[in-house]
Amino acid sequence: MDITPHATAAMSKDDILRLRALFPALQQEVNGKPLVYLDNGATTQKPQCVIDALVDYYSHDNSNVHRGAHTLSDRATQQFEAARVIVQKFLNAAKPEEIIWTRGTTEAINLVAATWGRQNLKTGDEILVTGMEHHSNIVPWQMLCEQTGAVLKVIPVLDNGELDTARLPELITDKVKFVSVVHVSNALGTINPVATIIRMAHEVGAKVLVDGAQAVSHWNVDVQSLNADFYAFSGHKLFGPTGIGVLYGKEALLNTMPPYQGGGEMIEHVSFEKTTYNALPYKYEAGTPNIAGAIGLATAIEFLNGLDRHAILAHEHALMARCAELADKIGGLRIIGNSPEKASVFSFLLDGAHPADVGTLLDQQGIAVRTGHHCAMPVMDQFGIPGTVRASFSLYNTLDDVDALFAGLEKAKMFLL
């Protein structure tokens, strides 16, 4: 994985505006102002090609997949399985069978906890997470600990928002059987050294899941290079539809794990005496899948594959540099999360103002940000704050959007301070 901007220049303003024009939701006014959408960490907007793919499927090919004896089912199945191959190549997984469709990152994590976790963990075993995890990468492991007697341990977070990597040798011991770590913090933007964590975990025989929900939209992820045992992400944070996600798992591991849910499609043969289960990946895909969602996600990936991702990454770095420049000038602004390795997330507090009030005043100016604890209460507790205002940027944001954010903050200060 290479997240350093190459010599490739950031996109020009005209390039970004042409790209932005492909996203219909961005072509609107909110409260009488042009929309400045800075809530990409929560969900990204969808390009017209993704919307068209959903409409086209429902208009022409709507049918259930697999085992259908008619043309529509054949067409739907071909698109559905072609989407799996597109995701496989996107992550550089070894086989399409290693790609499991889920509803999103949350379900993917729960799937692993309920299958590999229940099968392999026992009293006294340790599960290791970080102090900056989203709740969906905390609660499933807490539930699993209650069921198995395993113990949840936490890699601490430093005051600048980085992981305390100096603690890794003492935390990653022979007692650790599973590590689940976020690739990029949704609340802080911190990029974690997941390759190092995976290597150290494997040295003690532990398995590793990486929550990639906030990573895949920013740079190429190679699961074989990382050597991750499991990798999860959500389609809606990657310009795709909601309700579709991906769990990558190594084939050998997936084959040893029990099914997650019972029902249609995940079976090979059913009788009242015994049921045998289907081969990968269908063993984990009970019931009618989100066919349109998978097709839409594949379209989003193809859209992204057609862009210069190094130029986009350089552009996102430029957006964050403008944030840092203007933050120094505005005064009364506290940045939460100052890791030198950081994605395009700007999380902050305005002195004397509640984040919710700041968000409301920005919305009145057509500026969409996220406020609150961002489903990361433990890291907010560490900083002693109730939450933050979070501006999260994507490939269609412009330097003008950053300027609008800080102009909006100046106006908000007049009302709040």
Q: Determine, yes or no, domain membership for 316.
A: yes
Over range 288-296, report the average pLDDT.
97
Question: Looking at the structure, do residues 63 and 138 belong to the same domain, yes or no?
Answer: yes
Question: Looking at the structure, do residues 301 and 312 belong to the same domain, yes or no?
Answer: no
Q: How far apart are CA 220 and CA 126, in angstroms?
A: 31
pTM of the model: 0.95
Question: Looking at the structure, do residues 276 and 316 belong to the same domain, yes or no?
Answer: no
351 exposure class (CB count in 10 Å sphere: 0-12, 13-18, 19+): exposed
In tens, the pLDDT along 30-69 reads 999 999 999 999 999 999 999 999 999 999 999 999 987 8
Q: How far apart are CA 111 and CA 97, in angstroms?
A: 16
Q: How confident is the model at residue 2 (pLDDT cuts 50, 70, 90)?
A: very low
Question: Looking at the structure, do residues 236 and 320 belong to the same domain, yes or no?
Answer: no
Task: Give the domain-ending residue among 243, 276, 305.
Answer: 305
Q: How many domains does the chain have?
A: 2
In tens, the pLDDT along 80-126 reads 999 999 999 999 999 999 999 999 999 999 999 999 999 999 999 99
Task: Give the domain-ending residue among 278, 305, 332.
Answer: 305
Domain that holds residue 360: 13-47+308-416
Q: Determine, yes or no, domain membership for 236.
A: yes
Q: How far apart are CA 374 and CA 147, in angstroms?
A: 27
In tens, the pLDDT along 339-389 reads 999 999 999 999 989 999 999 999 999 999 999 899 999 999 999 999 999
In tens, the pLDDT along 321-334 reads 999 999 999 989 99
Question: Looking at the structure, do residues 252 and 312 belong to the same domain, yes or no?
Answer: no
| CATH number for 176 | 3.40.640.10
Q: Looking at 131-253, which runs of residues are DSSP E strands?
A: 151-155, 176-182, 207-211, 230-234, 245-249
Q: Which of 49, 145, 323, 375 is catalytic?
A: 375
323 tagged catalytic: no
Helix (H) or strand (E) holding 361: helix 355-363
Task: Give the domain-ending residue among 262, 289, 305.
Answer: 305
Q: How far apart are CA 241 and CA 250, in angstroms?
A: 25
Check pLDDT > 80 for residue 248.
yes
Q: How confident is the model at residue 1 (pLDDT cuts 50, 70, 90)?
A: very low
Q: How far apart are CA 231 and CA 211, in angstroms?
A: 6
